[in-house]
């Protein structure tokens, strides 16, 4: 990263040093190390503060002890006027205790003047570190923006979104999901999904959760109990959340409200069942009437047969009577 900065522009350094000889020695050592420099020298607090306020520096080099102005005070000024600017102490006498104190206050590094060969590497490390910090801040800002966009998309989605942790407790619900169930997100957070179901639906839900733990996505219908006790029917698309080692970390599901369609289907089924019942009742009634008609037909047919037999018998008797009368007359 330092080489890239060198190619783009000279390295801008603010150097706090009351010894012109030491300041020149340090400048030459850095040039010999291959740095392209734009170095501003300050030998007093006033000059240092003035240059610092002007800004545009890549790092600060500071002697520890100047007349009336020490490195801790200079560091405090840097932290106030240019937060995050690398601060390297270059001094002839910095005890270990003071060095540790400076590092705790935010100094980037320290180098002894009799070990200036270590200064280029210290600068390289400082610039790399600040570059990484800037890259990290950019990434964090991009992530923040991305998360903001994602949250807006999620919160304005037409479907309910519900996320559970590995313990099957609620970690997130979007606005649509809370609207469907009539609860606030705070009321749902940290609770199992079963808390929002009818008791008779819980066993099947636990079975589904077992499938999710084994990495199985599913699509199915699920009934929930709203806060006011009403039922809400949903179409569920559930997916397990796995880490890089395919270990279960939770589940994510989207819910589409199908209550109206479900109720319309139930009403249609009720009408169909009612029609089938009426048809069955009418069929039974017709069958009974037909059986009665058959019985009556058989009865009338039987009576007609008996009338025929009776007429034949009467005719036979009349003939016998005539025969008897004829015999009596003779």
Kindly tell me if the per-residue pLDDT of 25 is higher than 80: yes
Across the chain, what does the average pLDDT equal? 84
Q: Which CATH fold topology does 2-150 show?
A: Rossmann fold (3.40.50)
* CA atoms of 125 and 20, how far apart (whole Å): 26
Confidence of residue 217 (pLDDT cuts 50, 70, 90): very high
Each residue of 71-110: b (16+ CB within 10 Å) or e?
bbebbebbeeebeebbbbbbbeebeeebbeebeeeebbbb
The predicted pLDDT at position 328 comes to 59
* pLDDT per residue as tens digits for the range 68-117: 898 899 999 999 999 989 999 988 877 777 878 888 888 888 888 888 99
* pLDDT per residue as tens digits for the range 26-44: 999 999 999 998 999 999 9
The dotted CATH code for 159-257 is 3.30.450.20
The predicted pLDDT at position 2 comes to 45
The predicted pLDDT at position 84 comes to 87
Kindly tell me if the per-residue pLDDT of 244 is higher than 90: no
Kindly tell me if the per-residue pLDDT of 168 is higher than 60: yes
pTM listed for this prediction: 0.49
Selection from 38, 40, 58 nearest residue 49 by Cα: 40
Confidence of residue 264 (pLDDT cuts 50, 70, 90): confident
The predicted pLDDT at position 4 comes to 44
């Amino acid at each position: 990263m330092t080489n890239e900065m060198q190619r783009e522009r000279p390295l801008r350094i603010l150097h706090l040093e009351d010894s012109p000889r030491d300041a020149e020695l340090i400048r030459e050592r850095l040039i010999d190390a291959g740095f392209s420099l734009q170095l501003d020298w300050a030998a007093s607090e006033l000059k240092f503060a003035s240059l610092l306020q002007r800004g545009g520096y890549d790092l600060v080099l500071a002697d520890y002890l100047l007349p009336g102005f020490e490195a801790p005070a200079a560091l405090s000024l840097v932290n106030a006027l240019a937060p995050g600017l690398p601060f390297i102490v270059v001094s002839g006498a910095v005890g270990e205790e003071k060095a540790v104190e400076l590092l705790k206050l935010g100094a980037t590094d320290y180098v002894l003047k009799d070990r200036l060969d270590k200064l280029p590497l210290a600068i390289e490390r400082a610039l790399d570190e600040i570059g990484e910090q800037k890259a990290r801040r950019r990434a964090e800002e991009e992530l923040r923006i991305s998360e903001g966009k994602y949250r807006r998309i999620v919160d304005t989605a037409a479907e309910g979104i519900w996320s559970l942790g590995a313990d099957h407790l609620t970690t997130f619900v979007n606005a649509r999901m809370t609207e469907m169930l009539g609860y606030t997100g705070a009321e749902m957070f940290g609770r199992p999904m079963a808390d929002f179901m009818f008791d008779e639906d819980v066993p099947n839900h636990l079975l589904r959760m077992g499938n999710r733990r084994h990495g199985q996505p599913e699509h199915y219908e699920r009934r929930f109990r709203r806060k006011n006790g009403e039922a809400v029917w949903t179409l569920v698309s559930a997916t397990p959340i796995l880490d890089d080692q395919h270990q279960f970390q939770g589940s994510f599901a989207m819910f589409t409200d199908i209550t109206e369609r479900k109720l319309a289907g139930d009403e249609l089924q009720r009408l169909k069942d009612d029609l089938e019942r009426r048809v069955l009742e009418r069929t039974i009634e017709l069958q009974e009437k037909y059986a009665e008609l058959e019985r009556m037909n058989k009865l009338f047919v039987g009576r007609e047969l008996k009338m025929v037999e009776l007429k034949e018998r009467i005719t036979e008797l009349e003939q016998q009577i005539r025969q008897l009368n004829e015999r009596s007359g003779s």
